Amino acid sequence: MSLQAELSSIENTLPSDLAASIGTMVNRIVNANSGAGTRAQKVGDDAPSFILSDARGNATALRALLMQGPVVLVFYRGRWCPYCSAELAAYQLALPDIKACKTSLVAISPEAPDGSLTEDEIDALSLEILSDPGNQTARTFGLVYRLDDESRPLYERNGLDLGKINDDES
């Protein structure tokens, strides 16, 4: 199934109020008048340096990765987000081609590592997953947006306490 078909399938299974809220938020983010996304890094910009931890607590520095070759950075909201999970699955399928270009793939989320992955599950990951507490790194890339006041209660009613998931109320 294509990524677009997978995303459409996800959208059709969401509660209508949550799907509408997500649609409103996405439209707000991509709307040029909102200013959201206008601070994002552009093609050719130098990437801000960072050091983030993986699921084991090991530090990963962008500078060290770049010494090995090009890096594809993917910022995502968290494993709770079905859209993000579908996107990561598509990247996983593309990973052999990415690696064939001697390129690293790194996924970054504000989610706090919760210890839910076993050592075997961590070892089985084909791409590096890093935690960005408080979205500090995403912020330096100009990718942070504020969850609107209508969306937060909808997320919570659907079992998503982002403050708890991210170990951060921002």
Listing DSSP states for 32-77 in one string gives: GGG-TTTTS--TTPPPPP-EEE-TTS-EEEHHHHHHHS-EEEEE-S
CA–CA dist 118, 58 (Å, integer): 15
Comparing 8-12, 17-21, 115-119, 141-145, the range with the smallest average pLDDT is 115-119
Whether the CB-CB separation of 127 and 90 falls below 8 Å is answered with no
CA–CA dist 127, 65 (Å, integer): 13
What's the confidence (pLDDT) of residue 75?
Answer: 93
Q: Exposed, middle or buried by CB within 10 Å (0-12, 13-18, 19+), for 111?
A: buried
Predicted confidence (pLDDT) at residue 34 exceeds the cutoff of 60:
no
Question: Of 143, 12, 139, whose CA–CA distance to 83 is shortest?
Answer: 12
Predicted confidence (pLDDT) at residue 33 exceeds the cutoff of 70:
no
Predicted confidence (pLDDT) at residue 121 exceeds the cutoff of 60:
no
CA–CA dist 109, 26 (Å, integer): 18
Q: At 158, is the pLDDT very low, low, confident or very high (cuts 50, 70, 90)?
A: confident
What's the confidence (pLDDT) of residue 118?
Answer: 58
CA–CA dist 89, 42 (Å, integer): 25
Mean pLDDT of the chain: 82
162, amino acid identity: L
Query: What pTM was estimated for this model as a whole?
Result: 0.82
What's the confidence (pLDDT) of residue 156?
Answer: 82
Q: Token pair of 64, please?
A: 């060290």
Q: At 145, is the pLDDT very low, low, confident or very high (cuts 50, 70, 90)?
A: confident
What's the confidence (pLDDT) of residue 117?
Answer: 55
What's the confidence (pLDDT) of residue 10?
Answer: 81
CA–CA dist 23, 65 (Å, integer): 35
Instruction: Give the pLDDT confidence of 47-103 residue by residue, as tens digits.
Output: 999 999 988 888 999 999 999 999 999 998 888 888 888 888 888 889 999 999 999
